[in-house]
Amino acid sequence: MFGAAKALRDAGVLGLNERNANYIMRLNERRFYPRVDDKVLTKKISLAAGMAVPELYGVIDHQGDVRKFPEIVENLESFVVKPAAGSGGDGILVVTGRSTRKRDSFRLASGLLISTDEILHHLSNIVGGQYSLSGNPDKALIEYCVRFDPVFAEVSYQGVPDVRVIVYRGYPVMSMVRLPTRASDGKANLHQGAVGTGVDMGHGKTLIGVLGNEVVDEHPDTGALIAGLQIPGWEQILESSARAHEVTELGYLGVDIVIDRDLGPLILEMNARPGLNIQIANNTGLRSRLKRIDEIYNPADDPATRARIAQREFAV
């Protein structure tokens, strides 16, 4: 047992206790949490900092507003409904179009039809706080549905693949691409069965894939090879992630980015408690990279510099 713990330590693996005590609690001030926990606020401050985010169509912040939903989406063919304080992709509805026969029925990314009534119920559940971390009343966002870049089309089953970047003291340190599968119901969440792939920080190319704790070479649904895909706009992704540190003032941060085929990388959400599975996807421990940043940390570095340092330091 102690041998196994030592082996992990030697491999530079970061454990949950250490992440919480030494990184999250030390570097993430509680008062800044709303900046990432409330997606409406995240969007607002990101926009103010000049970063690209999916367009916000409307916010429903109490039960009475739920009936305004048809009005908000009147001229929209596709959109996403999500809770402002949700976590892990819970409570997100991705609407990709409308039923051809009935205007008030919508088609979900999975291909299923959903009636306006059902969406209204979902909205009141969100507002009632079913998906918020604490169970408190929440807000529902209706926002632009990303049309994702074809580079991942072969390795995604429905849903939107996203790029997760861990940013430590403003420096991107590790990244992975999360690919939705049939099992994950189109959600890019590793807990729910999405495939995670490590990313070569230097060039933005995908490495091996991980499903659960198993290494996989091919996407389980499409059978396409996962490794070696070039993530478009990699340098811009790194720079946006690095800048997220200034926007949120959080020292240990997960930035989730989607790549729109027309608009390029868009910041989808941020997370003050990013998970540790990214280590498995990269087959590398986070701890050693965090230590490296501590060594070369320079408060004068601007986001662009920090992105370049990340490319230099953590290239595979």
Q: Which residues bind other proteins (CB under 8 A)?
A: 1, 4-5, 7-11, 13, 15-18, 21-22, 63, 88, 90-91, 117-118, 121, 124-125, 128-131, 191-193, 213, 215, 276, 279-280, 283-285
Q: Of 58 and 129, which CB lies nearer to other proteins in the complex structure?
A: 129
State the minimum distance, in angstroms, from the CB of residue 303 to other proteins: 29
Beta strands in the chain (DSSP E): 56-60, 79-83, 93-98, 105-108, 113-115, 140-143, 162-168, 171-179, 195-200, 205-211, 214-216, 252-260, 264-271
Q: CB of 276 within 8 A of CB of 14?
A: yes
Of the candidates 96, 120, 92, the residue with the CA atom closest to the CA atom of residue 107: 96
User: Helix, strand or coil for residue 110?
Assistant: coil
Neighbours of 235 (CB within 10 A): 14
State the minimum distance, in angstroms, from the CB of residue 89 to other proteins: 8
Q: CB of 161 within 8 A of CB of 177?
A: yes
State the minimum distance, in angstroms, from the CB of residue 99 to other proteins: 20
| DSSP conformational letter for 228 | T
State the minimum distance, in angstroms, from the CB of residue 140 to other proteins: 13
State the minimum distance, in angstroms, from the CB of residue 11 to other proteins: 5
Q: Of 63 and 230, which CB lies nearer to other proteins in the complex structure?
A: 63
The size of the chain, in residues, is 316
Q: Of 13 and 272, which CB lies nearer to other proteins in the complex structure?
A: 13
Placement of tokens 């020292």 in the chain: 251
Q: Which helix (H) or strand (E) holds 216?
A: strand 214-216
| DSSP conformational letter for 230 | B
Q: Of 90 and 154, which CB lies nearer to other proteins in the complex structure?
A: 90
State the minimum distance, in angstroms, from the CB of residue 180 to other proteins: 14
Could you tell me the sign of the dihedral formed by the alpha carbons of 212, 213, 219, 220, in that order?
A: negative
Identity at 207, one-letter amino acid code: L
Q: Of 4 and 300, which CB lies nearer to other proteins in the complex structure?
A: 4
State the minimum distance, in angstroms, from the CB of residue 186 to other proteins: 13
Q: Of 105 and 305, which CB lies nearer to other proteins in the complex structure?
A: 105
Q: Of 6 and 261, which CB lies nearer to other proteins in the complex structure?
A: 6
**Which two tokens mark 155?**
């390795």
Placement of tokens 């706009």 in the chain: 233
Strands 140-143 and 56-60: antiparallel
